Structure 1
Amino acid sequence: MRKILVLSLLLLTYLFSQEPSKEVLLLHSYHKGYKWSDDISKAIENNFKPHSNINLTTIYMDTKKVSNEKYFKKLYKQQFKNRKFDVIIASDNSALEFLVEYQKTLFPNTAILFCGINYFDEKLIEKNGMRKYISGVIEQVDLKKNFELISKVHPKLDKLIIINDRSKTGLIMKDDLQKIIPEYEEKFEIEYIDDMQMKELKQHVSKTSDNTALLFVLLFKDKTGKFFTYKESLEHIKSFSHVPIYGLWDFYLNYGVIGGLLTSAQAQGDAVSKMALEVLNGKKVDEIPILKESPNRYIFDFNELKKFDIKIDKYIDEFNIVNRPFSFYRKYKLLVNITIATMIVFIVLIILMKANINRRKKLQRDLSNRLEFDKVLLDTIPNAIYYKNVDGKFMGCNLAFANLMGLSKQSVVGKTAFDFFPHEIAIKNTKIDEKLLKTLKTDTSEMALHLSNQEIKYFILNKAVYKNIDGRIGGIVCIMDDITERVQQKQFLIQQSKLAEMGDMVAAIAHQWNEPLVELSAQIQDIQTSYLLNELKDCQVEEFVNDSMVQIKYMSRTLSDFRNFLKPSTKKVIFPIKKALDEINEIIGKQVFYSNINMKFNYLDDEELVVYGYENEFKQVLLNLINNAKTKIIENSLKENSKGNIIINISKSKDYNKIEIIDDGGKIDEKIISSIFEPYFTTKKDGTGIGLYMAKVIVEDKMQGKIKVKNIGNSVVFTIKVPYKKD
């Protein structure tokens, strides 16, 4: 019982391991023994041979003798009534035409692949809705290239005799020949023969001159209707011809033709069988395109070439030769050439290896020296330098960076930006690095670094992507430029610029305090008089105290504004433009008024506009520009005794908020207008030349805005554009 079970399991395993059987029908238009059909069968059988599950059934219609389609329909209906095929291969026109007509009746829904089809017309396979079931390989004789070949090989040719018959294929060939012949009639005489008996043809061809060639097309029937096999007709012609014979099909080789650009039955069978394997593997036939370029080849018979002393390689680069005598070198040419080449290569390699080893030793020595030099060079550079890989991990640094971080160079390796910089700065730098790795560009950014000793240093980070020797991205290198001194110097200049404004500020405060001091003096005198006259009442004392506190608070606010103005801003903030202008107006508004100047603020947008930047420094810029305008107007009014105007327009644009300061104190000389923002440039007798320069530094360098000036008529317009949101 156990043995039976084991045998059953083995049998089941064997059965399930076998591939499902595939049935293929090969339907030939012609008879068995016709070399064209036999070569197609041979190529198909060779390609199917490795596939043991394919059952090939071959049928010959023999339409050169029998052409009754109704007979074939009855025959195949009876013959294949109990069989179903996975694919049908139609060889030549008659078989394909029959299947197009009767596929739905005899082989419904079966895929059809054709080969050897002459003068293919798409309309043929569209008949009866058959297009979706059919694909294949077209057979196409290239007459033009064969004519070109004959004219090249025989430049002194006097006459070309074309031999054909009047079969269906022969008549089609005749039509094509009549299109080609006129192009060559001026080079040599062309005689076309298709209406002679074989006996007459022998006599005619035997009398041809030596400068004659034959083009053998077809000859299955002569004028009398006598039938010849392809081999018999050519052997007859060969027996009485003393001139070279060219052909159009490869099955005429070995029987007397030299060769030519031949239509190959084996190539047709090879191509169509590969298509059949695709269909059998599950591919739909309508997904396989028709091979419209016939796989023709230049093929020649060695014996015929030798007989007529033709060196075919003088005229054609790629060709095949049959019947060539055995030659070891020719048969194993590739192997011999590879062997010789290998020996030469080994000899050359042996000669070069020693020199290469010596060169490598020298290069290794030079490379070691260069690496040591680069290491010293990096450590000598005062700028902090580091480089990291694409994952953001530090791969190395120079001594300046290690000292900055208070670490050794070895301990830096493997760390990330989050180990050295504050979290916010590290995130910003990581985003910059990610962008650089995508764009492969460079980047420059600023960073304020708080060191462990409570010191603040300012750096410009210059970053670029570097690549490895194989072209892949290696990572990012960064050079840190210490700008602490420059930043501090700019801040000092800003404060110096503020101090330069202090004279005007003190004068403005004097104007601001003048009225409240007079008011306080009058109230004190009034209280004193009431006291001396014993008329002082409690309500008067209370009123005096209240009025005095109003004046004192006003004076205190003026001092507070002045103190805030002097205090440097250390951090960018978002602040309202109106607040900044109101505080400036509190400081110098009355002084401007008492200078006979009308200062007007125009807010051109309904919403309250803001600025992103350094608030006190920005107020310094506004104060400087208004003071300059005031001074110019005062100088101009002394000459002309007129009232001046300062108009300040505040509006919003796409990416900036805009402030225009317009004064009518007279235009700036066009010769100097482009220089007024330069450091230490001034037209004032006691001026420092840093006010407008620092205004440009504050607006453009520190706040990433724009400041410019222009003349409009007799007025000067300063335009400031500043961002209203964070970078």
Structure 2
Amino acid sequence: MGGSARTRTHARAAVFWVLLAACLFPAQSHAARHACHHILLVSSYSTRLQWSADICESVRENIYADDYCAEITTEYMDTKRYTSDEHYQSLTRMFERKYTGVHFDLIITADDNAARFVLGLRKRLFPGVPMVFCGVNDLDMGKKFDLSNTTGVYEEVDLAMTVAVIMTQNPDVETIYVVNDRTTTGLANKDQLDAVMMEFKNRVRFRMLQDLSMEEMLHALSDLPQKSAVLLLSFVQDRLGESFTFRQSIGLFRSVCKRPMYGVWDFYLGKGIVGGMITSASVQGQKAAEMALRILGGESASSIPMLRKSPNQYMFDYNELQHFGIADHFVPQSSVIINEPQSFWRTHFRLVMWGSITIVVLLSLIMFLSIAVMARRKAESELERINASLEELVAERTDELHHRSMELEGANAKLQKLDELKTSLMNTVSHDLRTPLTSILGFALLIRKELSKFCTGTCADACELPGMRRVFSNMDIIIKEAERLSRLINDFLDMSRLDAGRMPWQDREIDPVKLAADAIEAYSGAFSENADVELIAEISETLPPIVADYDRLRQVLANLLANAKRFTNKGTVTLRVREQDGYVLFAVADTGTGIPDDELELVFDKFHQATDNTLRDNLTGKGSGMGLAISRSIVKHYGGRIWADHNPGGGAVIMFTIPARRA
């Protein structure tokens, strides 16, 4: 009995001190929290490049450290692969569409292209927003852009120090082969290398391996003389325009090159280079994040000096040093060595340290609990007071949450009312447009008919005049565009009805075979206009019935066939219908231009249009951007699914399912 009482006493004391710590320390943490900030992070490249991924990850890690409240929106420009003016124009339009009217507390850019792009847009799209750049090679950027309210970290590779360490670690070297490309970074590297080559011209020869295809580069690296070394600068795009990730290029080079390779960036370290005076993406991101936190803390960006001296350091790969027999005394002091075998103490230092700390903490806890037992009565009284205080706080927070909930419900009701007003407006405008459009189309057809009668009579010769032929051509254009506008208005009406949940559904039992056959028959005439495109039907002979609105499913098939025809200049468009897992599967496949990977989901969004240059150049007509969105809403209404994929034979395939009627 005595042991049990002592156990309960210890337990109550422990609870008291745990609750007391929970009340005190969170209060300090809460007081230290910052207001949540909105940050736009723009990277010049994509996550395919390790450098780009490392910079962005470092920025996020350092900003989110210590639970700093920030919302970081990241945009990857992918300008290594896409360098055309059209790509930059597309990026500009995307930024204007996404961020017009959006407020950011800070913009961070990674590498030159992103910095130039944002500086060009900032005045009209992000006025007054401070900016921090990192990874910028262009030391004269201030002469080209207004850098007020801007600070950052320049990326200046130290080629001279790297060349010096090459010669130190390879005393017999006579020629250094320099691997480089003609990207923005590559050209900046070449400018710096020119000065370094002049500095070392009497000590070593330099040979440029540039403007080569990957095959030519690999051949050159595989046949280097004995007294030589390689300086790898940048090779992400070869002479033929083919792009490579850093990991791909260094892997290929290392597989054929028998001489030591050196570099100036950390993404090559550990992948095949010996080392050098290394520029680190993580350090660039860390320094930029530190500047960003100072700005968010209240400092002006203009008051923070730009870091023009890149924070580089000597780094080497132990495995490569051993492979080429480079002695330890040739490695500069304070160098960072990766992959170096560790002693037991160095390997398990953290484990031993934390074990010792744990023992000390446990001993302190035992002493702490002993003192707590002596203060039990006072602790119980204090605990009751704290409980009462906590209950008051909970009641206050509950009332506040209830008030906020009522506010949100009111705001939601207003939004629903605005949505209803939008739908009503679309219906009214569409109906008002349809009436005069019907008259225009009717009169145009009537005029065309009367002119045809006139030209079949005694005035047939007059109709062969150029002026009369132009009249006939113009009438055909009016009729064609009026019919297109009529379809567009119908799409608007269908979309507004679907959004408002007011679409009239005439559900009945449908034979999928007949539905598909009717769609093929109705659209065969449209395909006869182009002899290079063949419409094919692959329909199972027996299919289970489905229950749906016949006209709406015909509308879905018409939209898919029209899309396939629009994007196919030559080849086939195939409608396939079969049963699959309790559903009837409809698929429309074409051999046209296909759909880019990043647009397979976007094609079903409202008003989406093809963005790829190849797609735009191969369009045989322009749609409204609503057909697939309407189709998705119809299919989802009947519990089906619609999706797009690549056609194994080239082109695209769009599929949807409708549940089969159970017997």
Give TM-score, length-normalised by structure 1.
0.42
Greater RCO, 1 or 2 (C-alpha within 8 Å, sep 6+): 2
Structure that is richer in helix per residue: 2
Give TM-score, length-normalised by structure 2.
0.46
Which protein shows a greater Rg? 1
Structure that is richer in strand per residue: 1
